Amino acid sequence: MKKFFLSIALVLFMFRTYADEGMWIPLLLGEQVYKDMVKKGLKLKPEQLYSINQSSIKDAIIIFGGGCTGEIVSDKGLIFTNHHCGYDAIANASTVEHNYLRDGFFAADMSKEIQSKISVRFLNRIEDVTDRVMKELGNTNGMERAQKLIAAQSSIVKEVVGGDEFKAAVVVSLFKGNQYFLYVYDVFKDVRLVGNPPESIGKFGGDTDNWEWPRHTGDFSVFRVYMSKDGKPANYSADNVPLKPKHFLPVSIKGFKDGDYSMIFGYPGSTNRYETSYGVKLSTDINNPVLVKLRDMRLKYMFSEMMKDPAIKLQLASSYASIANYWKFYDGETKQLLKYDIFGQKQNTETNFVAWAKGKAEYENIFSDYQKNYEAWRPYATQAVYMREGIMGSPLLAYAASWSGLEQVLSKKDASKEDIAKAINNAKVARENFLKDENKKSDQNILASVLMMYNTDIPKEQQPAGFYEDLFKRFNSIDESPYKRYAADVFENTMAFDGNKWNDFIANPTTAALQADAAYKTSMAFVKNWNVNYISKNQAFVNKNNDLGREYMKGLFEKEPAKMKGTYPDANFTMRVSYGNVKSYQPKDAVKYDFVCTLSGVAAKYVPGDYEFDLPAKFLDLYKAKDFGEYADAKYKDIIVTFITTNDITGGNSGSPVLNANGELIGLAFDGNYEALSHKLAFDKDLNRTICVDVRYVLWCIDKLGGAKHIVDELKLVK
């Protein structure tokens, strides 16, 4: 136990000590960790990993959609990513009659591939722009610095992208504002669904198994990116042709053993491993528990309606999955942070820093200032979570809030007819999209519950003036909940659902009519209360934290200057590389988890008709016949479904390729394990595991279960 806490303390000292920890910038691999990667087993040269002058692995890695990773696996632009990353596109392509989400889908040929709204980005290059940004920022702090940073980032991006819709760029902060990198991307907007397993495979285990090991989920989907006939990025066109990629990943079906080298390229979303003890305590005391409580309520009402009707299940599937995923994550994160006393470990590191900083004017007051900043914000932290996860957790209130832009246009005395017409048209389009996804019954229950919970949990002096007094005055029956009656009244009287009222408003749009709408009036009561009284407090808190964090990181590097070169920055949804090993682990006394799960384990969990553990009849027939094809593992005489590695990943890495020492694809990363859900704030060298779907299971599902051998034939298999 003492050894364990020592390792955590070293991690929290903010400098990397173990090869498995770290999300490394590919541009800097050669000067930071390449030698260590080779010692661990890597067989490739640095330029095979990242190069701007020749084809390299980085050219096969894509940002998939808005928050996932994908990889190119054929010379015809074929993409592998996670099922949950393609979930929304699969749901949108589905109907009750052709339910690809439920039944699965594999295109018989390219002409049957289905258009999606997804776009993908290929990394073109990375540049260090620290000097330029720092010159623009000068010695500013707070809001002034934040505004100058936005201006500097925008200026650089505009220079790079211009008006080209097929280019994108971002300037990101590293080490809390001590360094800035420019990332430039090529954008492809014609991406089509090629195939996906049935949801009973792609989400096998559901919420019960989410973030857990052992895990038996076939979390994959297949897409293809297209280009114009002249080889350029293009919007969707029937004349487009499959992408000819700079690089694609060969696919290994040779298998692996416990201890083998593993490497992951991808786009980890966010970590905050240089967070302070104050931030950890705010998370465990307020932010996480309130979020979990509100999401638990929303999920309960959504699930209840989804179980009543297949059409509703399809309608809410994507939203439910998204909400549920991080509901469980933040519940687990809180438990792990408390279990391993991450707060106490952070405090030890900070005490050490304060002792070093004594007498150094630039650093000696950092932690007393941190304390003041958190004390000033803490009374309003619950309000902030309630606005994001509660009030805006009602789809109706979130949609109604979007009318504020229309109100601003209508309020302008000099607004032109063109401006008003544009605002009205935007509102019409937004309403169409809202109604398509809206389930009134669950949303009405969510609204009633969140109004009750807000009134209970938020201090009276922070509530919208007069809102609850008016609610109880209008609905004061002792026979029915006033919150339920209020919510019913909002849903019955808003023009959001009433076509006649909406058309009357569109014909004669006025601010008075908008402000009188039941949904808009409710939404704005909370939004305006937040905007007038609390958003400035939140901005001041964030800006001060940014200033203190920048100085703290600077001080840490000054304290240990030799270690900066071997330190990785927090994840920020830019391309990173992590490396480690396929590896079993022992989560607690007398329990050891193997490094793989098999098809036999899937069959053993099968529960006929169950929402989370049902299986297709064809799956069971193939399993009983032991029809494994060339995809069975030689040692286990079974299909390996999933495996675990020690790689360091986080959200955004979903769909990332898991590569062997030769850069060949062996799996797709899709989850972390429950015992290490503190990984956003503190990496655990002993318990951290990345859960991956084995590419051999992916191919078995495509070939044997899906009957799409032609897709497998497109790949470069390494046997």
Question: Catalytic residue positions?
Answer: 84, 219, 654
Q: How far apart are CA 497 and CA 424, in angstroms?
A: 16
Contact present, 99 and 91 (Cβ < 8 Å): no
Q: Quick one: DSSP state of residue 571?
A: P
Closest CA to 117 of 75, 87, 97, 76: 87
Count CB atoms within 10 A of the CB of residue 715.
21
Q: C-alpha angle 588/633/199, rounded to 5°?
A: 75
Closest CA to 647 of 577, 588, 595: 577
Count CB atoms within 10 A of the CB of residue 418.
8
Scan for tokens 């060969």, then name that residue. Answer: 250
Q: How far apart are CA 133 and CA 150, in angstroms?
A: 10
Residue 714's SS3 state is coil
Q: How far apart are CA 642 and CA 605, in angstroms?
A: 15
Closest CA to 303 of 294, 311, 312: 312
Direct distance between the N- and C-terminal alpha carbons of the chain, in angstroms, rounded to an integer:
43
Closest CA to 338 of 380, 286, 280, 294: 280
Scan for tokens 């303390």, then name that residue. Answer: 9
- Which H or E element spans position 79? strand 78-81
Q: Quick one: DSSP state of residue 633?
A: B
Closest CA to 668 of 635, 629, 694: 694
DSSP assignments along 149-182, one per residue: HHHHHHHHHHHHHTT-TTEEEEEEEETTTTEEEE
Greatest C-alpha distance within the chain: 77
Token reading at 164: 């080209």
Q: Which amino acid type is present at position 365?
A: N
Residue 94's SS3 state is coil
Residue 663's SS3 state is coil
Total residues belonging to the chain: 719
Q: How far apart are CA 654 and CA 326, in angstroms?
A: 13
- Which H or E element spans position 195? strand 190-196
